[in-house]
Structures are given as structure tokens and as C-alpha cells.
Amino acid sequence: MRIIISFLLRKNRETTEGTLPVYIRFTYKGKRVELSTGIFIPQDYWDENKQRIRDKVPGSKVSNERLDRMKTEIQDIFNLLRSTGEDFDVNDIKCKMLNREDSKGVLSVFDYYLDAIQKKLNRGYSMETYKHYKSSRKRLAEFINKRLKKSDIPVGTIDYKFLDGFDVFIKKSFQNHQNTAWNYHKHLRRVLNLAVSMDYLDKNPYARFKVGLEETHREILTMEELRRIENKEIQIERLGAVRDIFVFACYTGLSFSDIAKLKHTHLRKGDEGKEWIIIDRSKTNNRCRIPVLPKAKEILNKYESYPKIQSKEVLLPVLTNQKMNSYLKELADICGINKSITMHISRHTFATTVTLGNGVPIETVSKLLGHSSLKTTQIYARILDKKIAEDMDKLEEKLKDVL
């Protein structure tokens, strides 16, 4: 199969001087790449049929010779790659044209990023964050291997088409929803930002490729449901401990990773004599100051001499996030709650049912949650407004029946 090389004017990229860039296009195995030749001319200087600058244009001879040299260079690169007997595509030709064949691979840059996260664990990054990035790296490697038949590709070859192909791959191959795909793109975008900072890439292609987030329904517990969980008699020790930790989270707003690392050193007495939890969030490193409410204090007292955590110096017997969430589903069943309860729902419940729903100002709730921006906290206020509206709709229907 031969390579097809042609020239064209990019009419959608007119400069302020009224000139258009001349691009060279080469197509091989159904895929094509376009590169700027660095030549800019008025549209009427271009001969569309001959794909050359008109002979009568001043300097046309020099410019046309430049176009011929580029065409010859691409053909020579094509012949060289074909002579090796190895599989290649138009992006390999592009790399050689741009002298980027030895460019850093995108997976290598991703590994560098992962290594940096690992070195900062519990100092700005959590283990959960590290695992999420590893998952994104795995998906990216699968895409490069299955769709491009390569173990890695130069980071400089990543463009809009690559990102769009990756988006289609993760959605079709793994049935990922839009917001899951968004997370994969978020991680890759940050890795490519690093590549730009390290001069492996001129600009981040995500500047043009946009991925949207779909509005999600954040599950919360009502106060009645929370009370039901609190008061349930549980004979199984491990399920009782998981229940207590979940309830503790509902009254403190702490995430799973922050509760898992909670120690005596995080408990402080305030000037007013009140006990506080003062902790830097694993996810953002933002400092949280949370007053210990009576229910939370009751749970801390219960596990003060718990044998299974004495040697670990932690305050609560936290299991892995996966096990906690598995047991919470079991807890929901025995409490007759038809909701998929997870540890993260406890944080949503604290923000809505426990605090905002009881008149705590949103600015205070934002501080308690350790949010960097009030906009993040406002999501919970919208959830609460929606819940109030739904409850009022139900009330309206009941009143209709009465009247």
C-alpha cells in the first residue's frame, strides 16, 4: 500500500493579514495527518489544481521547492519505515518529520506522575487517589495496545483524534458512563499538563477537546433513616463496628481516608472547653476543624480500649473501603433502607441532613467539610432544595385528597 501526499490551504485559519497557511497532508492505511509547511499566502496565490503556488507570484519558485522537499522527505521516511518490515502508521511518519521519534512516551510520563503521587501519599494525595490514577493509566495502556498496536506512543503525537478515540474506547469497551470517562480524561489531562511543563509537548490537546460532566443524584439519608441505623440492635461485632464508623462519619463529615488515619493527636480542646477534631484532609490537604458532637464522642469513647486497634494508635477499627461498603449494603438491608449506602453517603448526609438541614450556614458547612471553594458546598444546598420541593409536592398531593 502506498502513501498519498498532497497540499492544501487551511481556509479556516486565516491570519489577521488575510493570508492562509499551506498544509501538507499524507494518508496511509486509511489514516491521515496534516502538518503546517510554515508557508502563508493569500488565497488567490494558490493553484488548487496543481497544488502549488502560482508561478507568477513573487518568490513562488523558492516556496514551491520547499514544498517539493517536504514531499520528498515524507516519501523517504515512508520508504525507510517500510523497509524495516515493522508495523507503522502516519503518526510514526509525523514523529520523524518533527524529529520527535525519540520523544518521551505518554505512558512513561504517566509513570513519572504516578511516582510523584506515591512519594506524596498522605501529604496532599491519598492511596485512593493513587489507585484511581493507576486505573486510568491501565485504561490508557489498553487503548494504545489494542487500537494502535503499540506498547507506548510519543506524547507529542497525542492530538484531538487520539483523545476522541480514547473517549470512544473507554465508553464502548467498558460501558463507562460519562462521569467515569470524565475522570479518566481528568487524569490524562493532568499528565499532559506535566508533559507541557517538561517541554515534551508544545500545548495540551485538551485545550480543544472538552469532556462534560453529567449531573448526578447524590444519595443522602434522612434523619429518620439515620436514627434507624443508630438504634438498630446488631449482634455481629464486625457489622456493629462498621455501623458505628458510618454513624461517626455522618456526625463529623470526615471521608473514609480521613477517618482511617484519625489518631489521638487529631483531638484538641478549644479555649471554650469544647473538643475538636483538627485534621488535614487527605484529598486536598485543607485543614478541617470539626467540633465533636455528642454522638461522635459516644462512638469514640466506645472504642477507646478496643483491642484490635491498640497497637495501631488509631481511634476507630476501620476496614478497607471496599469491605466497609460491602458491609454497609448488608446494614441497609437489615435496617430496611432501600438505598445503596456507602461511606461517601455519610459525608453527603452530614452536609445536608445533619448540618444544612438544621440551619447551619453554608459557609460554616464548607469549612467543616474542608472544601476549597464554596461552589463545591453549594451542590449540597441544591440537593436540599430539591428534597424540600419533592416533599412539598407529596404534601400537596395529600392535601388534595383531604380537600
Q: Are 170 and 122 in contact (CB under 8 A)?
A: no
- Residue 181's Cβ-count burial label (10 Å; 0-12, 13-18, 19+) is buried
- Residue 335's Cβ-count burial label (10 Å; 0-12, 13-18, 19+) is middle
The correct answer on CATH 1.10.20 for the domain covering 106-207 is: no
Checking if the pLDDT of 203 tops 90, the result is: no
What digits encode the pLDDT tens for the residues 82-103? 998 888 888 888 888 876 545 6
Closest alpha carbon to 194 in 281, 282, 98, 117: 117
Distances (CA, A) of 122 to 95, 194, 257: 39, 21, 9
Q: 89: left (phi > 0), else alpha (psi -120 to 50), else beta?
A: beta
Q: How confident is the model at residue 380 (pLDDT cuts 50, 70, 90)?
A: confident
CA–CA distance, 57 with 60 (Å, rounded to integer): 5
Q: What is the DSSP letter of 27?
A: E
What digits encode the pLDDT tens for the residues 274-293? 899 999 887 777 889 999 99
128-156 b/e with 16+ CB inside 10 Å = b? ebeebbeebbebbbebbeeebebebbbbb
The correct answer on CATH 3.30.2010.30 for the domain covering 223-398 is: no
Q: How confident is the model at residue 386 (pLDDT cuts 50, 70, 90)?
A: low
Domain locations in the chain as residue ranges: 4-97, 106-207, 223-398
Q: How confident is the model at residue 126 (pLDDT cuts 50, 70, 90)?
A: confident
CA 377 from centre of chain: 19
What digits encode the pLDDT tens for the residues 243-272? 999 999 999 999 998 999 999 999 999 888
| Whole-number percent of the chain with pLDDT over 90 | 62
Checking if the pLDDT of 114 tops 90, the result is: yes
Predicted model pTM: 0.61
Checking if the pLDDT of 331 tops 70, the result is: yes
Q: Is 253 helix (H, G, I), strand (E, B) or coil?
A: coil
Kindly state the average pLDDT of the residues 374-389: 77
Kindly state the average pLDDT of the residues 349-372: 91
